[in-house]
Chains A and B, each alone.
Chain A
Amino acid sequence: MITTLIGNYPKIAEGAYGTRLIGTISRWQRQEITDEELEQVYQDITRAILQEQEQAGIDLLTDGQIRWEDIVTPIARRLDGFEVNGLTRWFNNNVYYRRPILHRAPVRQGPILVQEYQFARSCTTRPVKAVLPGPYTVMAVSEDRYYKNPRRFVRRMAEILNEEARDLAAAGAPVIQFDDPAIGFGWPGGRHSSKAKTTDMKLALEGLQIATRGVKTKTAVVTYFGALNGRLSQLLNAPVDIIGVDVVSSPTTLAALKKLRRIPKALALGCLDARNTKLESVKDLRAVFRIASKLVPPDHLYVNPNCGLEFLPHRQALAKVQRLAEAARAFKES
């Protein structure tokens, strides 16, 4: 059983690495400090976050996405073709992001995350995964004024993300994870669907197929924020090695997992609530681990919070990280 985190982590920590990022970014925005000075602070905090995970006993680490406001705009900002625009709600959270608008065919002008990845990797001896948005989710949270066609948009984004994934694999990433919350949550969906949120599973999987093509390392898709509502079996066919499922946001997902037999893939079990401060008990976590351990062999079972931990204050985020490691140890010993 492998313990891991999804991606983002609190950027400030009143009881640990401090709140100086807030002032640093403000000063950088006012051009009072240089890019290098900002970068130095980003690196210090990234190192502290990797250390926290190490000390807690997490097996597969993430860099905490300190430079990221969300999972989509850091990519959109560095591609040609997008304009990053007004504040919009991030799925059903009281958190906002700037919605990217596609004006021209998107073009990747070079590696986007490779340098950041290499830095994170240099901070620790443990494996660090690389995280990218899924192509379907990029489409779902953006406004497409160019293709005006979800499929063409998803396919083009998938090609771009594939180039990035190949570069990250070459940089040594042992796992490349595509975050696809729009699969779980549903795509509130453009002009056509005014009613229920729908997910075009076929298109989401087609995007992942292109994004993972020829990537010479393990690949993962993680879904969160919603119920999979009958889409679980389709998701299990995704062309990736690891399937991430959020069993916290909706009780129906765990019920659906219980009904399955063995899964031919690895499973990433999102089993701690990263959107509420209430700390899970070791006992409750072990019960969920037990269900999942019937579906995959131990080396194919990843356990993690249901989504990034940045929705939580640092103290509670760290407590969840420690509890995850503690529950995993207890489970292995039992």
Chain B
Amino acid sequence: MLLTTSVGSLPKPEYLMTARSQARKGSLDPKQLRALEEQATREWITTQEQLGIDIIVDGEQYRGDMVAYFAEHLAGFQQSELVRSYGNRYYRKPIIVGKVGRPRPVTVDWWRFAQALTTRPVKGMLTGPYTIMDWSFNEFYPSRRAATLAIAKVVREEAKALEQAGAQYIQVDEPAISTRPEEMDLAIEALGIVTRGLRAKTITHICYGDFETIGPKLHRLPVDQIDLEFANRDFELLSFFKGRRFPKEVGLGIVDVHTHQIESVEDAANGLRKALKVFKPDQIYVDPDCGLKTRTPEEAIGKLRVVVEATQAVRAELANGRRSGLRTPSAARTAA
């Protein structure tokens, strides 16, 4: 009950940041980089275990951008020159130049590596087909729809391979899902291709949402669990779910990932208590709002600790409440 987890990315330690920039310049060979990525992954798994997180992530120490990472490993994509994202920030946007394919597994090796380090379940982490399409240029497929569905088949193969390797949880993120309301049905259809028939628990994380648009269709997303940011909106989002029976599990973000400040355990626990008035305890998974990669490692650890301690406090209350619940007069009457 109230299992704790993370959304996906965790910050890269200083030594890995340095190594990545050296590798880009060619002054560090890929093998050395790989060794440091493994070291950072190992450290994050130990940290999560020590903190008491139930469902572990590998922290994506070997990934840069969540779309570019897949584009680099799949067939059919090319990297573009730099384009601006906002302000003075630029990135290389993938271009679909041929038939999208999966010549070899993308994330399975890393998942195996991470799972071998712990007895707790490690989540498989994928980027969804609609987001990969929306964040790429398309020179090959005749339409956005055709591109999305082609990518969906390939992401599906990867999800299947993760399941075969033993992943019990597979998360497929679609941050772009609410960008074009008129394409939301396409995004849902594509996600359905990825998750159809999987026995693993499927999750999708959604952020930056135009909630007015996406809210009414949330229950149609073909996954078992929807992970949302609650803390940075002061848990206002709960009012959307109030009074309806939401048929899926909910990943509940209880700490903001955009602030340096570490929330108090009490504030985070209060958020969780509010959520328990709307959702059933076994419906809720507890985590930070979003990936923690933009925080420092210290801040990320601080925030994860708050997630665990707040959850433990509330779990204890629920356990006590249940026991005392049996002693209430009404319960006694029912028993009689």
Contacts and interface: CB of A to CB of B under 8 A. Distances in A.
A126 interface: no
Interface stretch (A19-27, A75-83, A154-162, A288-296): A19-27
B82 A19 contact: yes
Given A69-B87, A188-B210, A14 B137 contact: no
B85 A89 contact: no
B31 interface: no
Interface in A303-324: 310-316
A85 interface: no
A89 B208 contact: yes
A313 B179 contact: no
Interface in B201-216: 208, 210, 212
A10 B95 CA distance: 17
Q: Could you say which interface size class chain B belongs to? A: 20 to 34
B106 to A, nearest CB: 21
A277 interface: yes
Contacts, number: 64
B81 A313 contact: yes
Contacts of B80: 277, 313, 316
Contact of B85 (A11, A96, A276): A96
A313 B83 contact: yes
A-side binding surface: helix, strand, loop or mixed?
loop
A277 B95 contact: yes
A60 B206 CA distance: 43
Nearest to B83: A313
B212 A194 contact: yes
B246 interface: no
B85 A95 contact: yes
A14 B81 contact: yes
Contacts of A97: 86
B180 A92 contact: yes
B85 A15 contact: no
A36 B87 CA distance: 20
Given A92-B179, A92-B180, A276-B138, A310 B84 contact: yes
Contacts of B208: 89
Interface string B114-135: 0000000000000000000011
A256 B95 CA distance: 31
A95 B139 contact: no
Contact of A95 (B82, B86, B95, B210): B86
A96 B180 CA distance: 15
B336 to A, nearest CB: 50
B239 interface: no
Given A92-B180, A188-B210, A15 B88 contact: no
A96 B155 CA distance: 27
B176 A94 contact: yes
A278 interface: yes
B138 A278 contact: yes
Contacts of A89: 179, 208
28 contacts: A10-B84, A11-B84, A19-B82, A22-B88, A22-B90, A26-B88, A29-B88, A89-B179, A89-B208, A92-B179, A94-B134, A94-B135, A94-B176, A95-B86, A97-B86, A188-B210, A276-B137, A276-B138, A277-B80, A277-B95, A278-B137, A310-B84, A313-B82, A313-B83, A313-B93, A315-B81, A316-B80, A316-B137
Interface of B: 80-88, 90, 93, 95, 134-135, 137-139, 176, 179-180, 208, 210, 212
Given A10-B83, A278-B137, 6 more contacts: A12-B82, A14-B82, A87-B86, A94-B134, A98-B86, A195-B212
Shortest 6 CB-CB distances between A and B: which pairs? A313-B81, A96-B86, A277-B137, A278-B139, A313-B80, A25-B88
